[in-house]
Amino acid sequence: MTTDRVLREVAGDRGLHVGAMIGPEPLRTEPRHRRTLAEEFSAVTPGSALKMGPLRPSRDTYDLADADAIVDFGVEHDMYVRGHALVWHRQLPEWFQPWDYTDDQLREFLRDHVHTVAGRYHGRIDAWDVVNEAVADDGSLRETVWYDALGADYVADAFRWASEVSDADLYYNDYGCEALTEKADAVYDLLADLLDRDVPVDGVGLQLHALGDRPDPESIRENVERFRDLGLDVQITEMDVAFDREDVPEDPLAVQADYYREVAEVCLEAGCDALVVAGVSDANSWLRYFADFPENYTGDPLLFDERYRPKPAYDAVVEALAED
């Protein structure tokens, strides 16, 4: 089956937000990036611009220029805007040293940050990743600066603080919990407990970085369905598909396309609200510059190649979404 309709149109007909996680520089400097994002995608997520480190160059100042550029673009082009992320243990400001604060001061510091940032974008951001990656790979709560100072209840507190100033849907977001795994069980238990305590959690974001190993689509389906049975919305929030450089398949573009197709079908059938990929084109993929990832994985994990040409993966997603 073929279609001459763009991704944004076919996804919209199926009630699915299809989006990209982006940074500010290509948005400002690359016309093809802006055009492709506006024409093909109906949702946008700032990759790092809304994280604490980039937002806060000094203790008493916020630099909102990059975040505003992305949010404004999304609003201008009638896109669903996802805020990412209010509370995370990484990408903290360089000047921030937790030992400069008492536990009570850290609690006040984090509450003020959530209130300031979420309140700043009231009515303009549709969903927030309130807490990002709070669960460790073994299923325990990750020991972070926030956990050490505030205890396990910092997760519940963050959602309550966000709900006080924002009308957005509030999400917990994590990796490694897309399919039925030990970590997914722990995330499920965490969210079930929060809901039992009337904490205002609306959804769960499953990152789905398929790097080397690709989570089984049927297992993803079962996992999405059980989160939905809790009453939560479910979104795929940072999807990309790359291969271990020591184990690249014979036809990587075809394998990549097949997996994107399977995930798109699962999203529709299991009732996901959004499918967001981790960049617009391969040229912008985080795998090309982040730590040791360029050495370990192929750097072409997205729907458009580095010249913004649609790849087989793009065609596969469009066809999956266009089918009745």
Least Cα distance to 272 among 280, 263, 281 occurs for: 263
Span 292-313, mean pLDDT? Answer: 94
Reported as a pLDDT band with limits 50, 70 and 90, residue 289 is confident
Reported as a pLDDT band with limits 50, 70 and 90, residue 246 is very high
For residue 134, is the peptide bond before it cis, meaning its omega torsion is within 30 degrees of 0? Answer: no
> Is 25 one of the catalytic residues?
no
Phi, psi of 63 (to 5 degrees): -110, 105
In a domain, 2, yes or no: no
What pLDDT is stored for residue 1 in this prediction? 47
Q: Position of tokens 């400002």?
A: 28
Instruction: Determine the structural domain holding residue 230 and report its residue range.
Output: 7-322
Angle at 111 between CA 106 and CA 112, to 5 degrees: 100
b/e per residue, 233-269, with b = 16+ CB within 10 A? bbbbbbbbbbbeeeeeeeeeeebbbbbbbbbbbbbbe
- Does residue 241 surpass a pLDDT of 90? yes
Catalytic residue among 9, 30, 39, 238: 238
CB-hemisphere CA count at 13 Å for 182? 6
- Does residue 244 surpass a pLDDT of 80? yes
Average pLDDT, the chain: 96
In a domain, 137, yes or no: yes
- Does residue 2 surpass a pLDDT of 60? no
In a domain, 1, yes or no: no
Tokens of 75: 């609003």
Q: What is the CA radius of gyration of the chain?
A: 19
> Is 262 one of the catalytic residues?
no
pTM of the model: 0.96
Phi, psi of 291 (to 5 degrees): 50, -130
30-72 pLDDT, tens digit each: 999 999 999 999 999 999 999 999 999 999 999 999 999 999 9
181-232 pLDDT, tens digit each: 999 999 999 999 999 999 999 999 999 999 999 999 999 999 999 999 999 9
Phi, psi of 24 (to 5 degrees): -75, -30
Catalytic residue among 40, 133, 178, 262: 133
Distance CA 126, CA 123 (A): 7
What pLDDT is stored for residue 3 in this prediction? 60
What pLDDT is stored for residue 323 in this prediction? 77
Q: What is the 3-state secondary structure (H, E, C) of the chain?
A: CCCCCCHHHHHHHCCCEEEEEECHHHHHHCHHHHHHHHHHCCEEEECCCCCHHHHCCECCECCCHHHHHHHHHHHHCCCEEEEEEEECCCCCCCCCCHHHCCHHHHHHHHHHHHHHHHHHCCCCCCEEEEEECCECCCCCECCCHHHHHHCCCHHHHHHHHHHHHCCCEEEEEECCCCCCCHHHHHHHHHHHHHHHCCCCCCEEEECCEEECCCCCHHHHHHHHHHHHHCCCEEEEEEEEEECECCCCCCCHHHHHHHHHHHHHHHHHHHCCCEEEECCCEHHHCHHHCCCCHHHHECCCCCCECCCCCECHHHHHHHHHHHCC
Count of the separate structural domains present in the chain:
1
Give the CATH number for residue 295. Answer: 3.20.20.80
In a domain, 265, yes or no: yes
